[in-house]
Amino acid sequence: MEKILIVGCKRTMDSVCIACSRCMVAFNRREGEFSRYKDQEAQLLGILSCGDCPGAGIVTRLAQINLWNKPMGEKPTKVHIAPCILDHCPHKEPIINKIKAKAGVEVIEGTHPYKPENIFA
Ligand code: SF4
């Protein structure tokens, strides 16, 4: 069973990207980068923010996820980096590198595929 942790941008999550629903819809439908779980059991464990600019707290926040879920015997088996970081964060390189260095599980760049091509057409 895969347990998925999504990491996104604190300044975007549930603010610019309302309710983080595009990530959740993509997970439920197994679309975008979640299509890799089409034929296997997978659950969404959480959607974690970077902790705010410049993302200096990300490793601590990963450790907190572990502590927080320990009593339930849950921990992530995969980390997905959301488009709000991949497409917009000026600090994304160090943030992603730190997550890759410390997570101890596979880190996948991407979540949902629902980026609008244009606004007014
Ligand atoms: S560090 Fe990047 S991901 Fe985090 S709040 Fe700032 S812009 Fe968003």
For residue 83, what is the enclosing H or E element?
helix 83-86
Task: Please tell me the distance between residue 54's alpha carbon and the centre of ligand 1 in angstroms.
Answer: 6
Residue 119 clears pLDDT 90, i.e. is over it: no
Residue 35 clears pLDDT 90, i.e. is over it: yes
Contact 11, 82 (CB under 8 A): no
| Predicted local distance difference test score (pLDDT) of residue 46 | 97
Taking the CA of residue 95 as reference, the ligand 1 atom at the shortest distance is: 1
pTM: 0.95
Which residue spans within the chain are E strands per DSSP? Answer: 2-8, 42-49, 78-81, 106-109
What does the pLDDT look like over 36-95, one tens digit per residue?
A: 999 999 999 999 999 999 999 999 999 999 999 999 999 999 999 999 999 999 999 999
Question: How many Å from the N-terminal Cα to the C-terminal Cα in the chain?
Answer: 41
Task: Please tell me the distance between residue 59's alpha carbon and the centre of ligand 1 in angstroms.
Answer: 14
Residue 115 clears pLDDT 90, i.e. is over it: no
| Predicted local distance difference test score (pLDDT) of residue 121 | 78
For residue 55, give the DSSP letter: -
CATH topology (fold) of 2-109: Rossmann fold (3.40.50)
